[in-house]
């Protein structure tokens, strides 16, 4: 069963149009493809995403394509919604106007104690500057703040899939700033796995860092996945593709890593209009 529900197109920071991505998915024998353009409703404007005016046009186009290709592949309209406390949240009510088939909730910005937003996955330089200027140079404090924000998100908001749970690892191989084997780090991922399990949300095994050359591994790490699995969390496989060709990036390596669920029956995704 080939599916991918985490993909980006020219509606946000992806390189290819939805049509091109659907054609690639059909050519690769996919059964379903879902679009998850970035959005930061209700208050924040995502420079690399859609605002409240663009979202309905995006949803209209995806639904038109879903109809056009319905005999070849199931096309779903989702969003990857940012959680920035007090500014944007991945809640079904927040996105009710476009009734997405599903919502992926992600943390890309950590709110520092002084209120600054530190970008998690923008560049190693931005991250280092953020830790230096807003976390007193203490990477542990930054990482703990990231996971606390993820736990807050999964606990308080109504969405379907938790995006790239340990995105903080993105630059940590090429530009190490903390030790993933340390007791405090394992405590953080353990607490986060428990929060995800309690929320009943689905976790994704996300191969996006491989396509972009940052990691030779998926999110979350093997140890994090084991903790999630032991607590009964369900997984789907996604590539966080930003190109049509990348929709199955490294799927051959990770398709047996977990027992994936059929997202179409394990979530509310088909209860909203396609
Ligand atoms: Zn993301
Ligand atoms: Zn994404």
CA 207-222-205 angle, to 5 degrees, is 30
Report the distance separating Cα 150 and Cα 168, nearest Å: 11
The closest ligand to the CA of 37 turns out to be: 2
DSSP E strand boundaries for the chain = 3-4, 32-39, 74-82, 102-106, 109-111, 117-119, 161-162, 202-206, 235-238
From the CA of 12, which ligand is nearest? Answer: 2
**CA nearest to 201, candidates 173, 232, 170:** 232
Asked if the peptide bond before residue 84 counts as cis, ω within 30 degrees of 0, the response is no
pTM: predicted TM-score of the whole model, two decimal places: 0.96
Options 3.40.50.720, 3.20.20.140, 3.90.245.10, 3.40.50.300; CATH of 3-265? 3.20.20.140
C-alpha 184 – ligand 2 centre gap (Å) = 27
Instruction: Report the separation in Å between the CA atom of 267 and the middle of ligand 2, taken as the mean of its atom positions.
Output: 19
Q: 103: which 2 tokens? A: 């919502």
Starting from the CA of residue 108, give the closest ligand.
1
pLDDT at 114: 97
State in Å: Cα 108 to ligand 1 middle: 6
* 9-23 residue pLDDT tens: 999 999 999 999 999
User: 170 alpha carbon to ligand 2 midpoint, in Å?
Assistant: 13
- CA 80 – ligand 1 centroid, Å: 7
Taking the CA of 240 as reference, the closest ligand is: 2
pLDDT of residue 156: 98
Give the chain's residues under pLDDT 70.
266-274
Helix (H, G, I), strand (E, B) or coil at 207: coil
What distance in Å separates the CA atoms of residue 244 and residue 7, rounded to the nearest whole number? 9
d(CA 75, CA 101): 10
CA 61, CA 253: separation in Å to the nearest integer?
33
Sole residue written with tokens 């600054």: 116
Least Cα distance to 36 among 88, 86, 95 occurs for 95
Helix pair angle (18-27, 54-68), 10° resolution: 30
User: What's residue 124's pLDDT?
Assistant: 96
Q: Rounded to the nearest 5 degrees, what angle is found at the Cα of 208, between the Cα atoms of 27 and 21?
A: 25
């Amino acid at each position: 069963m080939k599916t991918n529900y985490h993909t980006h197109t020219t509606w946000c920071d992806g390189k290819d149009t939805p049509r091109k991505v659907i054609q690639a998915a059909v050519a690769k024998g996919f059964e379903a493809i879902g679009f998850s353009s970035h959005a930061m409703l209700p208050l924040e404007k995502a420079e690399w995403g859609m605002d409240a005016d663009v979202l309905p046009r995006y949803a209209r186009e995806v639904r038109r394509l879903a109809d056009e290709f319905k005999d070849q592949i199931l096309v779903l309209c989702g969003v990857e919604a940012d959680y920035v406390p007090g500014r944007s949240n991945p809640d079904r009510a927040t996105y009710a106007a476009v009734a997405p088939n599903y919502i992926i909730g992600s943390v890309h910005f950590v709110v520092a104690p002084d209120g600054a937003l530190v970008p998690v996955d923008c560049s190693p330089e931005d991250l280092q500057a953020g830790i230096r200027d807003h976390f007193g140079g203490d990477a542990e404090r930054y990482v703990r703040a990231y996971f606390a924000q993820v736990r807050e998100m999964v606990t308080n908001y109504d969405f379907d899939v938790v995006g790239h749970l340990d995105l903080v690892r993105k630059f940590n191989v090429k530009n190490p700033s903390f030790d993933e084997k340390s007791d405090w780090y394992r405590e953080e991922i353990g607490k986060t796995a428990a929060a995800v399990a309690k929320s009943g949300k689905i976790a994704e095994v996300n191969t996006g860092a491989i396509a972009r050359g940052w990691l030779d591994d998926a999110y979350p790490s093997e140890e994090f996945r084991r903790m999630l699995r032991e607590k009964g969390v369900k997984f789907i496989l996604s590539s966080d593709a930003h190109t049509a060709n990348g929709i199955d990036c490294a799927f051959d390596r990770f398709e047996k890593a977990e027992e994936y669920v059929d997202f179409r029956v394990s979530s509310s995704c088909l209860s909203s209009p396609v």
